[in-house]
Amino acid sequence: MIKESKLQKYIINRRVAEKHSREEWLDVQKQHDVKFPSDYMEFIDSYGAGAIDNFLWILSPWTDNDNLNFFVNMKQSMWAYHYLHKESPEDYPFELYPAAEGLLPFGLTDNGDELYWQNADDNPNLWKLIIYESRSTVYYEYNLSFTDFLVGLFVGDISCEILPEEWPKYKRVIFIPCLDAAGEEKQKLTTLLKKELDMNIEKNEEILKNTCKLRNEYEVALFEKAIEEICSTQRAEYVLNLCSGFDDDTEDEEVMFGLVHAVEELGGDDGLYWTAMGLERMWRNKKWCKILLYRILNSDEDRIKYPEVINRLPWRERDRNISLLADILHEDKEMFADKIDEVLKDCSVVYQINKYPNGEIMVIYDQNGAVWNGELDTIYESDNGLEDDESGYEEYQACLFKVIEIIKPGKNGIKVNDWVEISRLNPPEQIFDSKGLQIWGQSRGDRQC
Protein backbone atom coordinates (compact mmCIF):
# COMPACT_ATOMS: atom_id res chain seq x y z
CA MET A 1 0.00 0.00 0.00
CA ILE A 2 1.26 3.50 -0.86
CA LYS A 3 1.83 5.60 2.21
CA GLU A 4 -0.13 8.81 2.57
CA SER A 5 3.04 10.90 2.56
CA LYS A 6 4.13 9.47 -0.77
CA LEU A 7 0.82 10.35 -2.42
CA GLN A 8 1.12 13.86 -1.04
CA LYS A 9 4.34 14.28 -3.03
CA TYR A 10 2.12 14.44 -6.11
CA ILE A 11 -1.15 15.94 -4.89
CA ILE A 12 -1.03 19.24 -2.99
CA ASN A 13 -3.87 20.05 -0.60
CA ARG A 14 -4.67 23.68 0.21
CA ARG A 15 -6.67 23.02 3.37
CA VAL A 16 -6.66 20.61 6.29
CA ALA A 17 -9.29 17.91 5.82
CA GLU A 18 -11.41 16.62 8.67
CA LYS A 19 -9.96 13.38 10.00
CA HIS A 20 -12.12 10.55 11.30
CA SER A 21 -11.30 8.02 13.98
CA ARG A 22 -10.98 4.31 13.36
CA GLU A 23 -14.25 3.83 15.23
CA GLU A 24 -16.05 6.32 12.98
CA TRP A 25 -14.85 4.52 9.87
CA LEU A 26 -15.92 1.16 11.29
CA ASP A 27 -19.34 2.54 12.21
CA VAL A 28 -20.05 4.05 8.78
CA GLN A 29 -19.00 0.84 7.03
CA LYS A 30 -21.17 -1.26 9.33
CA GLN A 31 -24.12 1.09 8.96
CA HIS A 32 -24.06 0.83 5.15
CA ASP A 33 -22.85 -2.77 4.93
CA VAL A 34 -19.77 -1.85 2.93
CA LYS A 35 -15.98 -2.19 3.19
CA PHE A 36 -13.40 0.42 2.29
CA PRO A 37 -9.74 -0.09 1.32
CA SER A 38 -7.42 1.47 3.89
CA ASP A 39 -5.68 3.69 1.32
CA TYR A 40 -9.06 5.20 0.38
CA MET A 41 -9.78 6.02 4.04
CA GLU A 42 -6.33 7.59 4.37
CA PHE A 43 -6.98 9.62 1.22
CA ILE A 44 -10.32 10.96 2.50
CA ASP A 45 -8.78 11.82 5.88
CA SER A 46 -5.96 13.66 4.10
CA TYR A 47 -7.95 15.44 1.38
CA GLY A 48 -11.69 15.11 1.96
CA ALA A 49 -14.21 15.22 -0.87
CA GLY A 50 -13.14 17.08 -3.99
CA ALA A 51 -11.22 16.89 -7.22
CA ILE A 52 -7.64 15.96 -8.07
CA ASP A 53 -6.38 18.61 -10.49
CA ASN A 54 -9.97 19.83 -10.86
CA PHE A 55 -10.67 16.73 -12.99
CA LEU A 56 -10.82 13.48 -11.00
CA TRP A 57 -13.54 13.62 -8.33
CA ILE A 58 -13.31 11.28 -5.34
CA LEU A 59 -16.51 10.47 -3.46
CA SER A 60 -16.61 10.70 0.33
CA PRO A 61 -18.97 9.12 2.87
CA TRP A 62 -18.73 12.24 5.04
CA THR A 63 -19.77 15.07 2.71
CA ASP A 64 -23.21 16.71 2.71
CA ASN A 65 -22.86 17.46 -1.00
CA ASP A 66 -25.05 14.89 -2.76
CA ASN A 67 -22.98 15.20 -5.93
CA LEU A 68 -19.93 13.87 -4.08
CA ASN A 69 -21.48 11.76 -1.33
CA PHE A 70 -20.29 8.17 -1.63
CA PHE A 71 -23.56 6.51 -0.69
CA VAL A 72 -25.81 8.78 -2.76
CA ASN A 73 -23.67 8.16 -5.83
CA MET A 74 -23.31 4.47 -5.04
CA LYS A 75 -27.08 3.98 -5.26
CA GLN A 76 -27.39 5.98 -8.47
CA SER A 77 -24.43 4.40 -10.26
CA MET A 78 -25.25 0.87 -9.18
CA TRP A 79 -28.88 1.25 -10.26
CA ALA A 80 -27.75 2.46 -13.71
CA TYR A 81 -25.17 -0.31 -14.09
CA HIS A 82 -27.66 -2.96 -12.96
CA TYR A 83 -30.06 -1.83 -15.69
CA LEU A 84 -27.32 -1.90 -18.36
CA HIS A 85 -26.09 -5.29 -17.15
CA LYS A 86 -29.59 -6.69 -17.38
CA GLU A 87 -30.19 -5.27 -20.87
CA SER A 88 -26.75 -6.03 -22.31
CA PRO A 89 -24.76 -8.48 -20.14
CA GLU A 90 -22.12 -9.04 -22.85
CA ASP A 91 -21.22 -5.33 -22.78
CA TYR A 92 -21.63 -4.86 -19.02
CA PRO A 93 -20.42 -8.21 -17.67
CA PHE A 94 -19.87 -7.42 -13.99
CA GLU A 95 -22.09 -8.07 -11.01
CA LEU A 96 -22.48 -5.41 -8.36
CA TYR A 97 -21.14 -5.19 -4.83
CA PRO A 98 -21.39 -7.08 -2.48
CA ALA A 99 -21.41 -9.98 -4.96
CA ALA A 100 -18.05 -11.64 -5.60
CA GLU A 101 -16.20 -9.75 -8.36
CA GLY A 102 -18.92 -7.08 -8.06
CA LEU A 103 -18.33 -3.38 -8.72
CA LEU A 104 -18.46 -0.58 -6.16
CA PRO A 105 -18.20 3.03 -7.49
CA PHE A 106 -15.96 5.54 -5.72
CA GLY A 107 -14.96 8.23 -8.24
CA LEU A 108 -15.67 9.96 -11.53
CA THR A 109 -14.04 12.41 -13.95
CA ASP A 110 -15.21 15.67 -15.48
CA ASN A 111 -15.74 13.70 -18.70
CA GLY A 112 -18.16 11.32 -16.98
CA ASP A 113 -15.78 8.33 -16.75
CA GLU A 114 -16.43 6.20 -13.67
CA LEU A 115 -14.01 4.52 -11.25
CA TYR A 116 -15.00 1.29 -9.50
CA TRP A 117 -13.45 -1.13 -7.10
CA GLN A 118 -13.94 -4.79 -7.98
CA ASN A 119 -14.70 -7.00 -4.98
CA ALA A 120 -12.02 -9.54 -5.88
CA ASP A 121 -11.05 -10.55 -2.32
CA ASP A 122 -12.39 -10.56 1.22
CA ASN A 123 -9.63 -8.08 2.02
CA PRO A 124 -10.60 -4.74 0.38
CA ASN A 125 -6.92 -3.76 0.21
CA LEU A 126 -6.57 -6.41 -2.52
CA TRP A 127 -9.45 -5.18 -4.66
CA LYS A 128 -8.90 -4.41 -8.33
CA LEU A 129 -9.60 -1.09 -10.04
CA ILE A 130 -12.03 -0.82 -12.99
CA ILE A 131 -12.41 2.37 -15.06
CA TYR A 132 -15.38 2.71 -17.40
CA GLU A 133 -15.33 5.24 -20.23
CA SER A 134 -18.22 7.71 -20.23
CA ARG A 135 -21.25 6.55 -22.25
CA SER A 136 -19.30 3.55 -23.51
CA THR A 137 -18.86 -0.17 -22.97
CA VAL A 138 -15.07 0.30 -22.92
CA TYR A 139 -13.38 -0.35 -19.61
CA TYR A 140 -9.85 -0.95 -18.30
CA GLU A 141 -8.87 -3.20 -15.43
CA TYR A 142 -5.92 -2.64 -13.09
CA ASN A 143 -4.70 -5.01 -10.40
CA LEU A 144 -3.71 -2.02 -8.29
CA SER A 145 -4.92 -0.01 -5.35
CA PHE A 146 -6.33 3.44 -6.01
CA THR A 147 -3.21 5.23 -4.76
CA ASP A 148 -0.85 2.86 -6.62
CA PHE A 149 -2.77 3.72 -9.77
CA LEU A 150 -2.51 7.48 -9.13
CA VAL A 151 1.21 7.41 -8.40
CA GLY A 152 1.73 5.32 -11.53
CA LEU A 153 0.02 8.03 -13.57
CA PHE A 154 2.15 10.78 -12.06
CA VAL A 155 5.48 9.01 -12.57
CA GLY A 156 4.53 7.77 -16.04
CA ASP A 157 4.54 4.04 -15.29
CA ILE A 158 0.83 3.67 -16.06
CA SER A 159 -1.30 4.91 -18.93
CA CYS A 160 -5.06 4.81 -19.37
CA GLU A 161 -6.53 5.48 -22.80
CA ILE A 162 -9.83 6.51 -21.25
CA LEU A 163 -8.23 9.51 -19.52
CA PRO A 164 -7.13 12.55 -21.56
CA GLU A 165 -3.68 12.08 -23.07
CA GLU A 166 -2.42 15.28 -21.46
CA TRP A 167 -3.68 14.39 -17.96
CA PRO A 168 -2.05 14.78 -15.58
CA LYS A 169 -0.10 17.57 -17.25
CA TYR A 170 2.22 18.08 -14.27
CA LYS A 171 3.85 15.65 -11.85
CA ARG A 172 2.44 17.66 -8.98
CA VAL A 173 -1.17 18.83 -9.04
CA ILE A 174 -3.62 20.62 -6.78
CA PHE A 175 -6.51 19.02 -4.92
CA ILE A 176 -9.61 21.22 -5.09
CA PRO A 177 -11.71 20.60 -1.97
CA CYS A 178 -15.49 20.65 -1.86
CA LEU A 179 -16.44 22.83 1.10
CA ASP A 180 -19.45 21.51 3.00
CA ALA A 181 -19.87 24.22 5.62
CA ALA A 182 -23.24 25.87 5.26
CA GLY A 183 -24.12 29.52 4.84
CA GLU A 184 -21.97 31.87 6.88
CA GLU A 185 -19.46 29.20 7.87
CA LYS A 186 -18.87 28.24 4.25
CA GLN A 187 -18.33 31.88 3.28
CA LYS A 188 -15.94 32.34 6.20
CA LEU A 189 -13.91 29.29 5.25
CA THR A 190 -13.79 30.35 1.60
CA THR A 191 -12.68 33.86 2.57
CA LEU A 192 -9.94 32.56 4.84
CA LEU A 193 -8.68 30.22 2.13
CA LYS A 194 -8.68 33.03 -0.44
CA LYS A 195 -6.82 35.33 1.95
CA GLU A 196 -4.19 32.69 2.60
CA LEU A 197 -3.69 32.10 -1.12
CA ASP A 198 -3.52 35.82 -1.89
CA MET A 199 -0.84 36.33 0.74
CA ASN A 200 1.32 33.73 -0.98
CA ILE A 201 1.14 35.25 -4.46
CA GLU A 202 3.79 37.95 -4.01
CA LYS A 203 6.09 35.48 -2.26
CA ASN A 204 5.79 33.00 -5.10
CA GLU A 205 6.25 35.70 -7.72
CA GLU A 206 9.54 36.63 -6.06
CA ILE A 207 10.56 32.97 -6.11
CA LEU A 208 9.88 32.87 -9.86
CA LYS A 209 11.99 35.98 -10.40
CA ASN A 210 14.86 34.68 -8.28
CA THR A 211 15.00 31.16 -9.76
CA CYS A 212 14.09 31.78 -13.42
CA LYS A 213 17.67 31.12 -14.60
CA LEU A 214 16.99 27.46 -13.66
CA ARG A 215 20.69 26.75 -13.13
CA ASN A 216 20.27 23.67 -10.96
CA GLU A 217 17.75 21.17 -9.62
CA TYR A 218 17.14 23.28 -6.53
CA GLU A 219 16.07 26.30 -8.60
CA VAL A 220 13.93 24.08 -10.84
CA ALA A 221 12.14 22.61 -7.82
CA LEU A 222 11.44 26.04 -6.30
CA PHE A 223 10.35 27.43 -9.66
CA GLU A 224 7.87 24.61 -10.33
CA LYS A 225 6.54 24.75 -6.77
CA ALA A 226 5.88 28.49 -7.13
CA ILE A 227 4.00 27.88 -10.39
CA GLU A 228 1.83 25.27 -8.69
CA GLU A 229 1.12 27.55 -5.76
CA ILE A 230 -0.01 30.38 -8.04
CA CYS A 231 -2.06 28.08 -10.26
CA SER A 232 -3.79 26.62 -7.21
CA THR A 233 -5.69 29.90 -6.79
CA GLN A 234 -7.65 29.22 -10.00
CA ARG A 235 -7.77 33.01 -10.53
CA ALA A 236 -7.04 34.25 -14.05
CA GLU A 237 -5.60 37.61 -12.98
CA TYR A 238 -2.64 35.82 -11.41
CA VAL A 239 -1.40 35.14 -14.93
CA LEU A 240 0.30 38.52 -14.42
CA ASN A 241 2.35 37.07 -11.57
CA LEU A 242 3.28 34.02 -13.62
CA CYS A 243 4.51 36.28 -16.41
CA SER A 244 7.15 37.71 -14.07
CA GLY A 245 8.93 34.34 -14.20
CA PHE A 246 10.01 34.36 -17.84
CA ASP A 247 13.70 34.82 -18.65
CA ASP A 248 15.31 34.76 -22.10
CA ASP A 249 18.59 33.60 -20.53
CA THR A 250 17.19 30.58 -18.71
CA GLU A 251 19.28 27.42 -18.77
CA ASP A 252 16.28 25.06 -18.91
CA GLU A 253 13.85 25.92 -21.69
CA GLU A 254 11.82 22.75 -21.14
CA VAL A 255 10.90 23.83 -17.62
CA MET A 256 10.25 27.37 -18.87
CA PHE A 257 7.80 25.96 -21.41
CA GLY A 258 5.96 24.54 -18.41
CA LEU A 259 5.38 28.16 -17.39
CA VAL A 260 3.94 28.85 -20.86
CA HIS A 261 1.46 26.02 -20.36
CA ALA A 262 0.63 27.26 -16.86
CA VAL A 263 -0.16 30.75 -18.21
CA GLU A 264 -2.48 29.26 -20.82
CA GLU A 265 -4.18 26.93 -18.36
CA LEU A 266 -4.68 29.37 -15.49
CA GLY A 267 -6.14 32.06 -17.74
CA GLY A 268 -9.32 30.11 -18.49
CA ASP A 269 -12.02 31.96 -20.43
CA ASP A 270 -10.36 35.34 -19.88
CA GLY A 271 -6.85 34.03 -20.33
CA LEU A 272 -6.09 35.92 -23.53
CA TYR A 273 -6.73 39.25 -21.83
CA TRP A 274 -4.46 38.50 -18.88
CA THR A 275 -1.79 37.07 -21.16
CA ALA A 276 -1.88 40.25 -23.24
CA MET A 277 -1.62 42.31 -20.04
CA GLY A 278 1.26 40.16 -18.83
CA LEU A 279 3.45 40.92 -21.85
CA GLU A 280 4.22 44.27 -20.22
CA ARG A 281 5.86 42.44 -17.30
CA MET A 282 7.80 40.29 -19.75
CA TRP A 283 8.94 43.19 -21.92
CA ARG A 284 12.65 42.63 -21.27
CA ASN A 285 12.26 38.96 -22.22
CA LYS A 286 10.90 39.35 -25.73
CA LYS A 287 11.73 35.83 -26.81
CA TRP A 288 9.08 34.42 -24.46
CA CYS A 289 6.68 37.27 -25.26
CA LYS A 290 6.85 36.22 -28.88
CA ILE A 291 6.46 32.53 -28.04
CA LEU A 292 3.17 33.31 -26.30
CA LEU A 293 2.08 35.38 -29.31
CA TYR A 294 3.15 32.66 -31.77
CA ARG A 295 0.81 30.26 -30.00
CA ILE A 296 -2.05 32.77 -30.12
CA LEU A 297 -1.48 33.50 -33.82
CA ASN A 298 -1.38 29.80 -34.66
CA SER A 299 -4.66 29.10 -32.87
CA ASP A 300 -7.65 29.92 -35.07
CA GLU A 301 -9.89 30.35 -32.04
CA ASP A 302 -7.49 32.64 -30.15
CA ARG A 303 -6.57 34.65 -33.23
CA ILE A 304 -10.22 35.51 -33.89
CA LYS A 305 -10.63 36.74 -30.30
CA TYR A 306 -7.37 38.68 -30.04
CA PRO A 307 -8.38 41.95 -31.80
CA GLU A 308 -11.12 42.47 -29.21
CA VAL A 309 -8.61 41.64 -26.47
CA ILE A 310 -6.13 44.24 -27.74
CA ASN A 311 -8.84 46.90 -27.93
CA ARG A 312 -9.72 46.24 -24.26
CA LEU A 313 -6.15 46.82 -23.07
CA PRO A 314 -4.84 50.00 -21.45
CA TRP A 315 -2.86 52.02 -23.97
CA ARG A 316 0.59 51.04 -22.72
CA GLU A 317 -0.15 47.30 -22.83
CA ARG A 318 -1.92 47.74 -26.16
CA ASP A 319 1.15 49.36 -27.69
CA ARG A 320 3.40 46.62 -26.30
CA ASN A 321 1.28 43.97 -28.02
CA ILE A 322 1.17 45.83 -31.31
CA SER A 323 4.92 46.48 -31.22
CA LEU A 324 5.67 42.79 -30.58
CA LEU A 325 3.36 41.70 -33.39
CA ALA A 326 5.09 44.17 -35.70
CA ASP A 327 8.46 42.63 -34.73
CA ILE A 328 7.14 39.14 -35.51
CA LEU A 329 5.87 40.37 -38.87
CA HIS A 330 9.27 41.85 -39.69
CA GLU A 331 11.07 38.63 -38.72
CA ASP A 332 8.82 36.19 -40.60
CA LYS A 333 6.46 37.95 -42.98
CA GLU A 334 5.83 34.84 -45.06
CA MET A 335 4.48 32.82 -42.13
CA PHE A 336 2.67 35.49 -40.13
CA ALA A 337 1.66 38.36 -42.45
CA ASP A 338 -1.93 37.23 -43.01
CA LYS A 339 -2.44 36.20 -39.38
CA ILE A 340 -1.10 39.45 -37.94
CA ASP A 341 -3.09 41.50 -40.43
CA GLU A 342 -6.21 39.64 -39.29
CA VAL A 343 -5.45 40.62 -35.69
CA LEU A 344 -4.35 44.23 -36.19
CA LYS A 345 -6.44 45.49 -39.08
CA ASP A 346 -8.88 47.18 -36.69
CA CYS A 347 -6.49 47.79 -33.79
CA SER A 348 -3.66 50.04 -34.96
CA VAL A 349 -3.66 52.92 -37.39
CA VAL A 350 0.16 53.02 -37.35
CA TYR A 351 0.33 49.31 -38.16
CA GLN A 352 -1.82 49.87 -41.25
CA ILE A 353 0.28 52.83 -42.38
CA ASN A 354 3.49 50.90 -41.72
CA LYS A 355 2.67 48.59 -44.63
CA TYR A 356 3.50 51.42 -47.02
CA PRO A 357 6.88 52.91 -47.93
CA ASN A 358 7.99 56.40 -47.01
CA GLY A 359 6.81 58.83 -49.68
CA GLU A 360 3.39 57.17 -50.10
CA ILE A 361 0.63 59.73 -50.74
CA MET A 362 -2.50 59.19 -48.68
CA VAL A 363 -5.85 60.94 -48.27
CA ILE A 364 -6.54 61.78 -44.62
CA TYR A 365 -9.92 62.64 -43.10
CA ASP A 366 -8.96 64.11 -39.73
CA GLN A 367 -11.07 64.62 -36.62
CA ASN A 368 -11.36 68.37 -37.22
CA GLY A 369 -13.32 67.93 -40.44
CA ALA A 370 -10.37 68.57 -42.76
CA VAL A 371 -9.51 66.39 -45.74
CA TRP A 372 -5.97 66.54 -47.08
CA ASN A 373 -3.34 64.70 -49.05
CA GLY A 374 -0.31 63.80 -47.00
CA GLU A 375 3.09 62.32 -47.83
CA LEU A 376 4.26 59.65 -45.40
CA ASP A 377 7.61 60.72 -44.01
CA THR A 378 8.61 58.32 -41.23
CA ILE A 379 7.40 56.05 -38.42
CA TYR A 380 9.00 56.34 -35.00
CA GLU A 381 8.65 55.80 -31.25
CA SER A 382 7.15 58.75 -29.39
CA ASP A 383 5.82 59.54 -25.93
CA ASN A 384 3.28 61.80 -24.26
CA GLY A 385 5.86 64.33 -23.08
CA LEU A 386 6.17 63.22 -19.46
CA GLU A 387 9.39 62.00 -17.90
CA ASP A 388 9.70 58.22 -18.00
CA ASP A 389 9.60 58.03 -14.19
CA GLU A 390 6.48 60.22 -13.92
CA SER A 391 3.04 58.76 -13.30
CA GLY A 392 1.09 58.55 -16.54
CA TYR A 393 4.14 58.33 -18.79
CA GLU A 394 3.33 56.49 -22.03
CA GLU A 395 5.26 55.42 -25.10
CA TYR A 396 3.62 54.75 -28.43
CA GLN A 397 4.32 54.40 -32.13
CA ALA A 398 3.56 57.36 -34.39
CA CYS A 399 3.93 58.34 -38.03
CA LEU A 400 4.66 61.75 -39.53
CA PHE A 401 2.92 63.16 -42.59
CA LYS A 402 3.72 66.28 -44.59
CA VAL A 403 0.58 68.04 -45.86
CA ILE A 404 0.89 68.52 -49.64
CA GLU A 405 -2.69 69.49 -50.59
CA ILE A 406 -5.79 70.70 -48.76
CA ILE A 407 -8.92 69.11 -50.23
CA LYS A 408 -11.32 70.47 -47.61
CA PRO A 409 -10.39 72.92 -44.82
CA GLY A 410 -11.22 72.01 -41.24
CA LYS A 411 -11.49 73.67 -37.84
CA ASN A 412 -7.79 73.26 -37.12
CA GLY A 413 -6.60 75.61 -39.87
CA ILE A 414 -4.22 73.02 -41.32
CA LYS A 415 -2.00 74.33 -44.18
CA VAL A 416 0.18 72.93 -46.94
CA ASN A 417 3.69 72.01 -45.70
CA ASP A 418 2.46 71.48 -42.14
CA TRP A 419 3.74 68.38 -40.37
CA VAL A 420 1.09 66.18 -38.74
CA GLU A 421 1.73 63.32 -36.31
CA ILE A 422 -0.75 60.44 -36.47
CA SER A 423 -0.91 57.95 -33.62
CA ARG A 424 -3.39 56.33 -31.28
CA LEU A 425 -3.48 59.67 -29.41
CA ASN A 426 -4.30 61.51 -32.63
CA PRO A 427 -6.03 59.06 -34.96
CA PRO A 428 -7.79 60.25 -38.12
CA GLU A 429 -11.35 59.28 -38.92
CA GLN A 430 -10.32 57.61 -42.17
CA ILE A 431 -7.26 57.03 -44.37
CA PHE A 432 -7.15 56.00 -48.03
CA ASP A 433 -4.01 55.04 -49.92
CA SER A 434 -3.01 56.40 -53.34
CA LYS A 435 -5.12 53.76 -55.10
CA GLY A 436 -8.27 54.67 -53.17
CA LEU A 437 -8.11 51.67 -50.85
CA GLN A 438 -9.40 52.44 -47.36
CA ILE A 439 -6.84 51.34 -44.79
CA TRP A 440 -8.31 52.85 -41.62
CA GLY A 441 -11.68 53.84 -40.17
CA GLN A 442 -15.24 52.77 -40.73
CA SER A 443 -16.56 52.72 -44.28
CA ARG A 444 -18.63 55.72 -45.33
CA GLY A 445 -20.46 55.58 -48.63
CA ASP A 446 -20.36 59.36 -49.11
CA ARG A 447 -16.57 59.50 -49.27
CA GLN A 448 -14.82 58.90 -52.57
CA CYS A 449 -11.10 58.83 -53.11
Residue 123, C-beta contacts closer than 8 angstroms, at least 6 positions apart: none
For residues 119 and 101, the answer to whether their CB atoms sit within 8 Å is yes
Return phi, psi of residue 94, to 5°: -90, 150
pLDDT at 448: 35
pLDDT of 5? 56
Assigned architecture for domain 351-440: Roll (2.30)
Q: Which residues contact 18 (CB under 8 A, 6 or more apart)?
A: 45, 48, 62
Edge-to-edge strand ranges of the sheet holding 438-440:
419-423, 395-408, 371-383, 361-365, 430-432, 438-440
pLDDT attached to residue 14: 67
Phi, psi at 53, each rounded to 5° = 60, 30
Contacts of 401 (CB under 8 A, 6+ apart): 362, 364, 374, 375, 376, 377, 419, 420, 421, 422
Which class does domain 11-178 fall in?
alpha beta
pLDDT score, position 191 = 55
Q: How far apart are CA 121 and CA 314, in angstroms?
A: 64
Q: What angle do helix axes 333-344 and 300-312 make, rounded to 10 degrees?
A: 50
Output Rg (C-alpha) for the chain, integer angstroms.
30
- The pLDDT, as a whole number, for residue 355 is 80
Running DSSP on this structure, what letter comes out for residue 103? E
pLDDT confidence of residue 239: 94
For helices 315-331 and 271-278, the axis angle rounded to 10 degrees is 80
Please name which of 147, 128, 124 lies closest in space to residue 139, comparing C-alpha atoms.
128
Residue type, position 340, single letter: I
> Cα-Cα-Cα-Cα dihedral of 65, 70, 73, 77, to 10°?
160
Length of the chain: 449
Q: What is the DSSP secondary-structure string of 224-274?
A: HHHHHHHHTT--GGGHHHHHTT--TT-S-HHHHHHHHHHHHHHHGGGHHHH
Question: Residue ranges per domain, the chain?
Answer: 11-178, 182-347, 351-440
Is the distance from CB of 350 to CB of 426 less than 8 angstroms?
no
**How would DSSP label each residue in 132-183?**
EPTTSS-EEEESS-HHHHHHHHHHTS---TTS-TT-S-SSSEEEEE-----H
Give rounded-to-5 percent helix, strand, coil for the chain: 45, 20, 40
Sequence-separated (6 or more) residues with CB below 8 Å from residue 119: 97, 98, 99, 100, 101, 102, 103, 104, 127
Report pLDDT for 197: 52
Strand, coil or helix: what is 328?
A: helix
| Long-range Cβ contact pairs of 117-121 (< 8 A, separation 24 or more) | 117/37, 117/146, 118/94
| pLDDT computed for residue 195 by the predictor | 57
pTM of this prediction exceeds 0.75: no
Distance CA 212, CA 407 (A): 57
For residue 412, the SS3 value is coil
Per-residue pLDDT in tens (0 to 9) along the chain, 449 residues: 344 457 778 888 867 788 999 999 999 999 999 999 999 999 999 998 888 988 899 999 999 888 889 999 899 889 888 888 888 899 899 999 999 999 999 999 988 899 999 999 999 999 999 999 987 889 999 999 999 999 988 888 888 899 988 788 777 788 888 754 334 444 554 455 555 555 678 888 989 999 999 999 888 999 998 998 888 877 888 999 999 999 999 999 999 999 999 999 987 778 899 999 999 999 899 999 999 999 999 999 999 999 889 878 887 788 788 889 988 988 988 899 899 888 887 677 787 888 889 999 999 999 889 999 999 998 887 877 777 777 767 777 789 999 999 999 988 889 999 999 998 778 898 999 999 988 887 554 333 33
Domains 11-178 and 351-440 equal at CATH topology level: no
- pLDDT score at 79: 87
The amino acid that residue 299 corresponds to is S
What's the gap between Cα 49 and its chain centre?
A: 24
